[in-house]
Structure 1
Amino acid sequence: MTAMDETLAPLDQQQTVEITTIGRRSGQPRRIETWRYRAAGRYWLTGSPGSRDWYANVLADPAFTIHLKDQDLRVRGRPVTDPDERARIFGEIVPALTWAGTLESWIAGSPLVEIRPA
């Protein structure tokens, strides 16, 4: 197991998580509930197509906290904008979501952030 795997392994315990980002305009902590996903052997945050404040906050300041039931993880987000990488990752995530809509809509309009150790 690599150091990254060990650091992020607690994410395997739950899919629904809360995250705290720093507001890009306010500078204040912003906490929301979201889902984390596992694809290509890594961990991701995404959501159905549309703009998301949490994503804009991560673009402005990639450091954030993931709150799990028994611990908080300080992490960094890596926004994924490369179309080929987005297609590969969403190709693993979206087909398992019965409510998701089309893969194409997610590739075109959903935020995608890789979760990395801080």
Structure 2
Amino acid sequence: MGLYTRVLKRLGHRRWMAAFGRRMVPADRWVQRRTGGRVAMMGRGFDALLLTTTGRQSGQPRVSPLVYARVDGGFVVAGTNFGQPHHPAWTANLLAHPDATVSVGGEPAAVRARLVADGPERERLWRAMTAVWPAYDTYAARAGRPIRLFLLSPGQAAADAPKARGSDVT
């Protein structure tokens, strides 16, 4: 792990860094889309994907740049919302419409989301997420709510996932 990654992981626990991260989501989405997902604002040392969900109310595609952990042939994502007291919109979208698309390194893949609510599987997946971004433990404590954790399994979603244009936050 390089110096840049170590510094970011250490700063990630700070409130100002979470606030900065929230404000950078639109820029990160733009960078990832323009580079085909090969570059993310967090830089090397972090696994980032673009998640395209269907808006639960609008029915429109929504894109969210997210940190992920690769587990069991799929992707794990956490709805921490940088420690905010409310869930991020993309999690409600997945609950309403579990078929989605991810783009990792510019490669799109259809996925089906499954909420992992409790038990040993959740503990294992949460450990995988905090290994990628240790500040998730801080975000969870700060949020004061259960963090929605999703396993995105490839090849199970509808093949006709819409192209995205909207925005949500991690």
Percent identity at matched positions?
A: 29
Paired position in structure 2 for 1:22: 54
Give how far 1:95 is off.
4.8
Find the partner of 1:115 among 140, 145, 152. Answer: 152
Contact in 2 for aligned 1:17/1:68 (Cα 8 Å): yes
C-alpha distance in 2, partners of 1:113/1:31?
16
Shift of 1:76: 0.5
**Is the CA contact 1:94–1:103 (under 8 Å) kept in the aligned structure 2?**
no
Deviation at residue 17 of structure 1 after TM alignment: 1.0
Match of 1:84 in 2: 120
Distance 1:69 1:92 in 2: 20
What is the identity, as a one-letter code, of the residue corresponding to 2:59?
A: G
Read off the aligned partner of 1:94 and give its amino acid letter: T
Q: Which has the higher strand share?
A: 1
- The structure that has the greater radius of gyration is 2
Q: TM-score if structure 2 supplies the norm length?
A: 0.51
In structure 2, runs of 5+ residues without a counterpart are 1-45, 157-170
Give the whole-Å Cα distance in 1 for the aligned partners of 2:111 and 2:72.
18
* Residue number among 109, 116, 136 corresponding to 1:73 in the alignment: 109
Greater displacement, 50-59 / 20-29: 50-59
TM-aligned CA distance change 1:95 to 1:18, over 3 Å:
closer
SS in 2 for 1:64: strand
Q: Which runs of 5+ in 1 are unaligned?
A: 1-13
* Mean Cα deviation higher: 33-42 or 60-69: 33-42
Query: 1 CA distance for matches of 2:54 and 2:62?
Result: 6
1:41 CA displacement: 6.3
Is 1:52 aligned to residue 84 of structure 2?
no
Counterpart in 2 of 1:43? 75
TM-score, length of structure 1 as denominator length: 0.71
